[in-house]
Amino acid sequence: MQVNDVVAYIQAGRDRFVADLKEWLTIPSISADPAHAGDVRRSAGWLADYLRGQGFPTVEIWETPGLPAVYAEWPAEDPDAPAVVVYGHHDVQPVEPLDEWDTAPFEPVEDGDRLIGRGTSDDKGQIFFHMLALRAGLAASGRNAPPVTIKLLVEGEEESGSAHFAELLRTHRDRLDCDAVVISDTTMWDADVPSMCTGMRGLAVAEVTLRGPSVDLHSGSFGGAVPNPLHAMAELLAALHDADGRVTLPGFYDDVVPLTDEERELFARLPFDEDDWLRSAGGSRVAYGEKGYTTLERIWARPTAEINGMWGGHTGPGAKTIVPRDAHAKVSFRLAAGQDPRKVQMAFEAWVAEHTPPGVEAEVRAAGGVRPCFSPIDSAGVKAARRAMERAFGTQVLFTREGGSGPEADLADILEAPLVFVAVGLNGDRIHAPNEKVEIPLLLKGAEAAAYLWEEFATALR
């Protein structure tokens, strides 16, 4: 397969590619809005038809108790060739506030190299480049099947929480058996700084309640002589970090996969402007976090504990001089590679129990958790994908991670396969916001990278 052939095919297919994508983008597949459930189904149907038209031998609509996913499979000729699940989603975010859009969100518009509209970047555009990649790879290689078995799985509920996704994966576990999962739902550092995500932090969530007296007490009669649950809460939460900004839960860092020197060095090559970043952080005035780590390391690769909410006692206007009966806090932990949400929640429960003063009763309710996901930069899949990206972009590809995550860990855990993030969205694409856009040349680069990726995977994952 010659680079020239792939590039030529993709360039020749550009207009058709954009025209087809625009047709899909006109379907308002907003999964969070029940009024658009029919549109999400229509979007799944449109995609299934399109995939059949592209030559996929198998195309199915996979129903869930919510909204449907689309599954398509194109087997490699070689029965021993690796299999790859390509994950994306065909549902989109709501479009409010509508009056901040310069164009109609579901009437996609080309503005030079840009394609503007809901779903252009997140995630229809990024799913779509895989089809162009596949056709280009077949054309350039002169074969009728890709070098790896492609299993395309396009979810319909990602933007509303992927409520039925894990169950869907378990149901179809056998058919989804694979050697790697390619995720095309993230971003690169910048148009001229191509990069690959290698991990996403997980999440553990808990709510703490501290109870003191059975009723609010008059602080004149009782203040200073009985424990105050708000004092206990302040002391508890203040003790959650040490002076170096480290989380004090015993064993909290034990399972964290440490950053390698190489990864830190590659992170450091990213042209990161901390002042710009602080401005984007609601005008935060200083960077602050775990000692010994940079801002990017802190938000991508280190676990954290955050108080998301806290309340108790009198919170209305004026003064009410009470010793309140209880105090509450919502705490969440962002988990780095290697950590287990349930283990962190249990450690937190034990720690709260141990740090609750006499006369105060503590209750911790753990609620939900998301496992972190991570692919080492020296793993076979990541290395192969980096080569494919570098062939397409003609420059060094760096690495990023993401601070939060969606259903990615489920893919890794249930399918028991490494994740490889190949995506060409930009942070400036305004995903989830008005005037979402995508850079068409980057979608074409994505197609090119994906075409090489199947070739690279064919040997690397064997």
Q: Are 208 and 362 in contact (CB under 8 A)?
A: yes
- Minimum distance, C-beta of residue 65 to its own copies, in the bound complex (Å): 20
Q: Are 245 and 291 in contact (CB under 8 A)?
A: yes
Q: Which residues contact 6 (CB under 8 A, 6 or more apart)?
A: 136, 137, 140, 448, 451, 452
Looking at residues 211 to 230 of the shown chain, list those that interact with its own copies (rule: CB under 8 A): 212-228, 230
Among the listed residues 324, 372, 418, 425, the single contact to its own copies using CB under 8 A: 324
Nearer to its own copies by Cβ, of 211 and 445: the residue is: 211
Question: Binding of its own copies at residue 255 (CB under 8 A)?
Answer: no
Cα 349 to Cα 367: distance, rounded to the nearest angstrom: 12
Interface region with its own copies, contact rule CB under 8 A, candidates 17-25, 309-317, 342-350, 451-459: 309-317
Cα 170 to Cα 190: distance, rounded to the nearest angstrom: 36
Question: Binding of its own copies at residue 342 (CB under 8 A)?
Answer: no
Cα 376 to Cα 419: distance, rounded to the nearest angstrom: 10
Among the listed residues 35, 273, 286, 354, the single contact to its own copies using CB under 8 A: 286
- Minimum distance, C-beta of residue 54 to its own copies, in the bound complex (Å): 35
- Minimum distance, C-beta of residue 100 to its own copies, in the bound complex (Å): 16
Among the listed residues 161, 367, 413, 441, the single contact to its own copies using CB under 8 A: 367
Residue 359's CB: how many other CB atoms inside 10 A?
Answer: 13
Nearer to its own copies by Cβ, of 19 and 226: the residue is: 226
Looking at residues 404 to 423 of the shown chain, list those that interact with its own copies (rule: CB under 8 A): 404-405
Nearer to its own copies by Cβ, of 220 and 394: the residue is: 220
Q: How far is CA 51 from the centre of its chain?
A: 25
- Minimum distance, C-beta of residue 27 to its own copies, in the bound complex (Å): 28
Q: Which residues contact 12 (CB under 8 A, 6 or more apart)?
A: none
* Residue in the structure block whose two tokens are 């990726």: 453
Among the listed residues 12, 19, 268, 307, the single contact to its own copies using CB under 8 A: 307
- Minimum distance, C-beta of residue 55 to its own copies, in the bound complex (Å): 38
Cα 267 to Cα 261: distance, rounded to the nearest angstrom: 10
The conformation of residue 193, written as its DSSP 8-state character, comes to: B
Looking at residues 71 to 130 of the shown chain, list those that interact with its own copies (rule: CB under 8 A): none
Q: How far is CA 17 from the centre of its chain?
A: 26
Nearer to its own copies by Cβ, of 144 and 214: the residue is: 214
